[in-house]
A and B are shown apart, each in its own frame.
Chain A
Amino acid sequence: MPAGSVGRVCELTGDESFCQRVREMGFGEAALVTKISGTTTSLCLVNGTRIALNHPAAMSILVEQIPALGRVDGPASAR
């Protein structure tokens, strides 16, 4: 996801414990996420909270970009 774009979480993959923690933080499936900045380590906005994700974590969160709000079409990871 490029910086400034908005997406919706489609799927969480990978480590089960991590997925549950992400969901408990309100970052689960269907949550809206705004990418603020970052390449290797990403900074996102979820429910008004700034969340930092490292590369493996970001690659585990699959996001569908929202054309009406975002800038680019097509699926992507939170990275």
Chain B
Amino acid sequence: MVGNPNCGKTTLFNALTGLRQKVGNYPGVTVEKKIGITYSQHGRPIQVIDLPGAYSLAARSPDEAVLRDVLLGRREDTPQPDRIICVVDAANLERNLYLVHQILDLGRPVIVALNMMDMAADAGVKVDAAELENELGVPVIACEAVNGRGLVELRLALSRLELPLARHRWDVPGPIAPAVAELQASLRDHDGRPPLIARAEALLLLTDFDTVRVGGSRPLSARTHEILQQWRQRWAGEGTDWSAALIRSRYDAIDRLCRNVIRRTRDTGPSRSDRIDAVLVHSVWGWLVFGAIMAVLFFSIFTLAEHPMNWIDGHVAGFGAWVKQSLPSGDLRDLVTDGIIAGVGGIVIFLPQILILFFFVGLLESTGYMARAAFLMDRPMSKVGLNGRSFIPLLGSYACAIPGIMATRTIENAKDRLITILVAPLMSCSARLPVYLLMIATLLPSDAVPAGTKAGIMLLMYALGTLGAFGFAWLFKRTLFKGGVPHMIMELPPYQPPRFKEILRHMFERGWLFLKNAGTIILAISIVLWCLTTYPKHPNPEATATEQIAQSFAGHAGHALEPVIKPLGFDWRIGIGLITSFAAREVFVSSMGVIFGVEAEDDDTQPLRDALRSAHWPGGAPLFTPLVCLTLMVFYVFAMQCMSTVAVVKRETNSWRWPLFQIAYMTGTAWLVCLILYQTGRALGY
């Protein structure tokens, strides 16, 4: 299943296969192939592959290369597809047909899914599907994937044993034909390409002279390379841009075809999207709306989540008390209450806030606002040497850095992509949210403190991370990856009403993932941490909890780290939390629950916050002073503490060099900034 970005491929894929791949109203949601199963009318299973969107087979970014390589049969993990469903946006038929035109050259059976017919009608465009089928010679199915229309017809077309091959209605322009023929023959004879693949690749090489980009990982043979260079030199001597002529020739053919297929029923004037854009991308109003959206997001996290959080907190405490009454005293009871319930329960309480964050992110993605945010941010991004396209991965990293880093595959420039990968984890992800919330609650314990103040501190942390990402992008662009501001051309999709079903589904999927982490990684770490804080046992059975932890395995590890973190105001117990956070940042909260022995029987709904507030240094000075809480939050803003992100960066950069560099520069910055903040704060008397 192929098509231009944002033409509804994944919606159609989900409708056909019953899967629930993420859908968004902005280009570049799908960056890797997705596989599902649908069934023919006779019940025969058909494997469907959803490929990333592309404007052309001439791939210029890693996600587009996936589409090209699968279609040309270059991927070892994916056989060349038997038939190709070309999904086209009926409202933008001419541009969408450019990719279809290239694919028809491959000589494979093709079905055209003419999607978004409803939107085309709204735009005053009537597309004659029967005439398009007649012109192309392949089945054309009119459909509206969102409403499920056309799915039966599409399944019927897929069920046909034989599909007609396209009637070729495009001839390579005369002056270019000899070059295509010569390159095709060489690719076939010297590079082992099948005849039609050789022709398609010859056309790509003549449109894009970058042989590595076009040829993929297999280098071209010396003979093919020589022929390409000869033609290039000849054309340069003639002063004619034949590569541009090739594209123009295709568009001329498409233009002739569309004259019989498209009828403009009326001049609709400015569309609804145009009218909305007049405000949302306005140089003043646009920024005000952007700021208001962010403010509402953070305010909602504090206000809307309060009651469900109290409800969860109460039930966790009640459950802990019940377990404590039911089990006989001993290590097993302590493990369940102080290890598992305190650790996992301390994390589960943040579920409502995580859900609210993902609801807002889903709302922005579904309506088409993400692309507008990238448009607005292009100017500030250009100040640091990047463009607005890099902002979509960064914005996505507010939810989680992993999909954000994967979304960088849409960035064409390799250096800019690497910079975006390196700075993306600085954007505060949802895993940091529990840490910020715990520290803000410890910092501002009174319920009398307005939610706006707490939201303001939270917003400050997010702003600090964003500024850090921009600052380091600026630095990297001027040192490691020198270069100018890259060109950006990006399609802004029409606004669509939010699809609440999709948003809620995605929100609950993320919520479930969060709970799954709590039930697996955090559960395991809580048990291990409980063991490490409980053993070896203190020789004196009457020893206090603090004395017990101090001489435990975890205590020794924390004490070993303490000299490094003491200048930041952190003691060995916080040190243990920092170490365990490398599994996942939110583990810090459960670690504190285990280390400070917060027992779930407590009637107070904020036992951990109280325990932190009453923690002291050996000399009696309070540990979690406002300055330490703030410093700890800043540490979490900058430090690289997520093993999953490290693994994804390694995979995306194909090297250990960059993830190790990322750990060093981010954690080094965190330490330095916290040192300056804490020592300055102390000098000022805080």
Contacts and interface: CB of A to CB of B under 8 A. Distances in A.
A69 interface: no
Contact of A14 (B94, B210, B487): B487
A51 B98 CA distance: 17
B55 to A, nearest CB: 5
B272 to A, nearest CB: 12
Nearest to A17: B60
Interface string B77-119: 0000000000000011011001000000000000000000000
A56 B492 contact: no
A25 B281 CA distance: 22
A24 B96 CA distance: 10
Contacts of A60: 487
Contacts of B273: 50
A54 B488 contact: yes
Contacts of B492: 43, 50-52
Given A20-B207, A24-B55, A55-B485, A50 B95 contact: no
B17 interface: no
Interface string A11-45: 01011111111111111110000001111110100
A57 interface: yes
Main SS at interface, chain A:
mixed
A66 interface: no
Interface stretch (B375-383, B526-534, B613-621): B375-383
A74 to B, nearest CB: 24
Contacts of A50: 273-274, 277, 491-494
B56 interface: yes
A49 B494 CA distance: 9
A76 interface: no
B378 A20 contact: no
Interface stretch (B242-250, B302-310, B437-445, B625-633): B242-250
Contact of B388 (A24, A25, A37, A52): A52
B91 A21 contact: no
Contacts of B494: 50
A60 B382 CA distance: 16
Most chain B CB within 10 A, of A19, A24, A56, A60, is at A24
B58 A25 contact: no
B159 to A, nearest CB: 33
Contacts of B172: none
Please tell me the size bucket of the interface on B: 35 or more
A24 B247 contact: yes
Interface in B185-227: 207-210
Contacts of B352: none
Nearest to A16: B209
B457 interface: no
B595 to A, nearest CB: 49
B55 A48 contact: no
A29 B251 CA distance: 11
Contact of A48 (B123, B277, B282, B412): B123
A69 to B, nearest CB: 13
A52 B375 contact: yes
B489 interface: yes
A51 B491 contact: yes
A22 B58 CA distance: 12
Contacts of A21: 55-56, 60, 412, 489
B417 to A, nearest CB: 14
Contacts of A72: none
Contacts of B58: 20, 24
A36 to B, nearest CB: 7
Nearest to A54: B488
Interface string B576-619: 00000000000000000000000000000000000000000000
Contacts of B378: 40-41, 52, 54
Interface residues of A, number: 36
Contacts of B243: 20
Contact of A47 (B55, B92, B248, B278): B92
B488 A53 contact: yes
B474 to A, nearest CB: 16
A48 B92 contact: yes
B208 to A, nearest CB: 6
A65 to B, nearest CB: 20
B491 A54 contact: no
A23 B491 contact: no
A37 B371 contact: no
Interface string B538-561: 000000000000000000000000
B490 interface: yes
B208 A20 contact: yes
A47 B94 contact: yes
Contacts of B244: 12, 19-20, 23, 28-29
A41 B485 CA distance: 13
A47 B95 contact: yes
Contacts of B283: 38-39
A61 to B, nearest CB: 9
A17 B91 CA distance: 27
B382 A24 contact: no
B36 interface: no
Given A28-B244, A56-B484, A41 B489 contact: no
B184 interface: no
A48 B210 CA distance: 31
Contacts of B125: 48
B281 A37 contact: yes
Interface in B260-282: 273-274, 277-278, 281-282
A36 B123 contact: no
A60 B487 CA distance: 9
A43 B490 CA distance: 10
B477 to A, nearest CB: 14
B382 A51 contact: no
A53 B208 CA distance: 22
A56 to B, nearest CB: 5
A37 B277 contact: yes
A37 B248 CA distance: 28
B489 A52 contact: yes
Interface of A: 12, 14-29, 36-41, 43, 47-57, 60
8 contacts: A18-B487, A20-B247, A28-B247, A36-B277, A37-B282, A52-B374, A56-B488, A60-B487
List the 9 closest pairs (A to B, CB-CB), nearest first.
A54-B488, A57-B487, A50-B492, A41-B378, A24-B56, A26-B95, A23-B247, A18-B487, A52-B490
Given A25-B491, A54-B382, 5 more contacts: A16-B209, A26-B94, A28-B248, A40-B379, A51-B492
Interface of B: 55-56, 58, 60, 91-92, 94-95, 98, 123, 125, 207-210, 243-244, 247-248, 251, 273-274, 277-278, 281-283, 371, 374-375, 378-379, 382, 387-388, 412, 484-494
